[in-house]
Amino acid sequence: MRELTLLNTIHNAADVACLSERELQMLSDECRKYLIDTILEHGGHFAGNLGVVELTVALLKVFNPHTDSVTWDVGHQSYAWKVLTGRREEITTIRTYGGIAGFPKRGENPADHFGTGHSSTAISAAMGIAVAAKLQNNNKSTHIAIVGDGALTGGMSFEALNNAAASQANLLIIINDNQISIDAGTGAMNEHLATIKPGETNIFSQLNLDYHGPVDGHDLPKLLDELTRLKSLEHPRVLHIKTIKGKGYGPAETEQTKWHSTSRFVKIDAQKTTPARKWHEVAGDTMLKIASTYHHTAGITPAMPSGSGLIDCFKTYPNRFFDTGIAEQHAVTFAAGLAAGGLKPFLFIYSTFLQRGYDQVIHDIALQNLPVVICIDRAGLVGEDGPTHHGAFDVPMLRCIPGIKLLAPATAEELQTMMHAAVQADYPIAIRYPKGPVPELSINTRNETPLENMGICLRKGEKVAVLSTGIATAMAHEAFQLAQSQASHYHFPVINHISDEMAVKIGKTHTHIITVEDGAIAGGFGEAWSEKLYSLGFEGKVQHLGIPHQFITHGSNDILYNLGGYSPRKIAEELQKACSPVVD
């Protein structure tokens, strides 16, 4: 890495504020070069961060992050902010266990006023901070929401915009418009932003917000002038800037979706190997086959065509696959409407994003018994994205809802058969599967219907039984190889329907049962088994392994599984304890 003479002198925001305009431009160039070098080596969100370097520098020149607040939306574009507010050396640890978070995080640094891992929250949060300041007789400090155009597709952004002008608080909304979210921008708002001209009426001015722009977000002198002028105002206003996602790194400017984030050591020319097949790829390929066979099927995703493996579906059947933008509530009810209209919709959504459409799952799908298939991607721990993105809560969320059948495949074959079988179901189905590669595991399903499979005995033992579901079945399988245990092992593809017959069978032949799941223990798969077993008179011990009742930090999944107590090694340790004879 070349010598960064100016950047190395920046230890906090105050060091940026005292620089001249010429030095600020030099700092922008050095900061962008530093981000390119470090992220390509250590991994992390990439293209979006390169697009906001000049904006970040200008904000720190004009505003004071100790008295003014800045809320980033979505927070993965905050790397330059971290670098210039005292975390330059720590950026190499970003998203690793024990290192700094990949998103703004309250408590990590005084400059991080609000955590933003999910989209479309910044305007609401910044408005709340601004109103709190106003009520405490401090309307001089400015409270800034930096909102990507992708985040404007989310319902919360519209709700906040509708409410913002009436607050009369010192709120500055900066629209970072690069015409792309992760995939290409979609919807009428995206088109509207592209056609706004200075002085013309637009959606923001119609909502009684004081609109300024559009401005070139890479023209540092212009940004400085605009922000300085807007700082003198104390009412809600909007600054619309145009930026380039991936700015300064040719490949990222050309292929913005591909370079949204990078893995570690992407610059190293490693020997080419065939990558393991990933769960979302299996789901996407299966959906393509379903769509080609069943012409009444449709697919929906809230802004995740690439992440959900659906790109080929969108290309092949553009009239039957829909990207709603970052609008999870709309996506869920849209799917319900498709089902009510006679189609068979498959909704592809990440576990943590499904949390945002929970009411719609209950009210619009389950209550009306509409046959929507919800494919829950990134279920369980997701590694480096951390607590905002871990899919910990989908099982407790859905297990309590009447009428939904919740499934968790352990293999690619199970996922495929579940999706195909779901086409014929006349009730709601949710299928959860994790992030990452599909394990090499073979399960004989004995030609049972995947939607009615009440459990598969993978190995028959005595006294101790391990009950697992989804990816935890592969983890438990590996644990048995480590422990050389004589215990039984059962895999359950159906999570929330436990047959009395199977529960009695397991309860009669075992005295110690260990449940394993890649999800929250509280309200999860294991607790469902405790409820069933004890209701049928089981007198033995039931032990639960899974995500404990806390928010799990960021880091590799291998580290986090171990930290949570349900890695293969941890399962093996518990197996050995359970199977060891009791010594008086």
pLDDT in tens, 505-522: 999 999 999 999 999 999
Distance of CA 391 to the CA centre of its chain: 8
From the candidates 30, 54, 226, 328, give the one annotated as an active-site residue: 328
- 33 catalytic? Reply is no
B/e letters for 48-59, b = 16+ CB within 10 Å, e = fewer, are: bbbbbbbbbbbb
From the candidates 82, 87, 95, 245, give the one annotated as an active-site residue: 245
> What's the rounded Cα separation, in Å, for the pair 357 and 524?
19
Examine domains 279-432 and 456-579 and report if their fold is the same. yes
From the candidates 82, 95, 134, 356, give the one annotated as an active-site residue: 356
> What's the rounded Cα separation, in Å, for the pair 415 and 401?
22
What architecture is domain 279-432? 3-Layer(aba) Sandwich (3.40)
Instruction: Name residue 72's amino acid.
Output: W
Phi, psi of 487, rounded to the nearest 5 degrees: -75, 165
Structure confidence at residue 308 (pLDDT): 95
Structure confidence at residue 265 (pLDDT): 47
- Check: CB of residue 335 under 8 Å from CB of residue 347: yes
Structure confidence at residue 251 (pLDDT): 74
Q: Which fold has domain 456-579?
A: Rossmann fold (3.40.50)
pLDDT tens per residue across all 584 residues of the chain:
446 689 999 999 999 999 999 999 999 999 999 999 888 888 888 888 899 999 999 999 999 999 999 999 988 899 999 999 999 999 999 999 999 998 899 999 999 999 998 889 999 999 999 999 999 988 889 999 999 888 998 889 999 999 999 999 999 999 999 876 556 667 788 889 989 988 889 999 999 999 999 999 999 999 999 999 999 999 999 999 999 888 877 777 677 666 665 665 443 444 455 678 999 999 999 999 999 999 999 999 999 999 999 999 999 999 999 999 999 999 999 999 999 999 999 999 999 999 999 999 999 999 999 999 999 999 999 999 999 999 999 999 999 999 999 999 999 999 999 999 999 999 999 999 999 999 988 887 666 677 888 899 999 998 999 999 999 999 999 999 999 888 999 999 999 999 999 999 999 999 999 999 999 999 999 999 999 999 999 999 999 999 999 999 999 999 999 999 999 999 999 999 998 865 44
Locus of tokens 């802004």 = 303
Q: What is the DSSP string of 186-201?
A: -SHHHHHHHH--TTS-
Structure confidence at residue 261 (pLDDT): 59
Structure confidence at residue 425 (pLDDT): 96
For residue 348, the cross-strand partners are: 375
- Check: CB of residue 373 under 8 Å from CB of residue 287: no
- 222 catalytic? Reply is no
- At 410, list the tokens: 């352990």
Torsion of CA 472, 473, 479, 480, to 10 degrees: 160
Q: Which of 255, 248, 348 is nearest to 297 (CA)?
A: 348
> What's the rounded Cα separation, in Å, for the pair 341 and 500?
37
- 459 catalytic? Reply is no
Structure confidence at residue 228 (pLDDT): 97
What are the residue boundaries of the structural domains of the chain, listed by start?
A: 7-262, 279-432, 456-579
Burial classification of residue 263, based on how many CB atoms lie within 10 Å of its CB (0-12 exposed, 13-18 middle, 19 or more buried): exposed
User: Which residues in 291-361 belong to E strands, given as ranges?
Assistant: 297-301, 321-323, 344-350
- Check: CB of residue 484 under 8 Å from CB of residue 394: no
Q: Sort strands 429-432 and 405-407 into parallel, antiparallel or unpaired.
A: parallel
Q: Which fold has domain 7-262?
A: Rossmann fold (3.40.50)
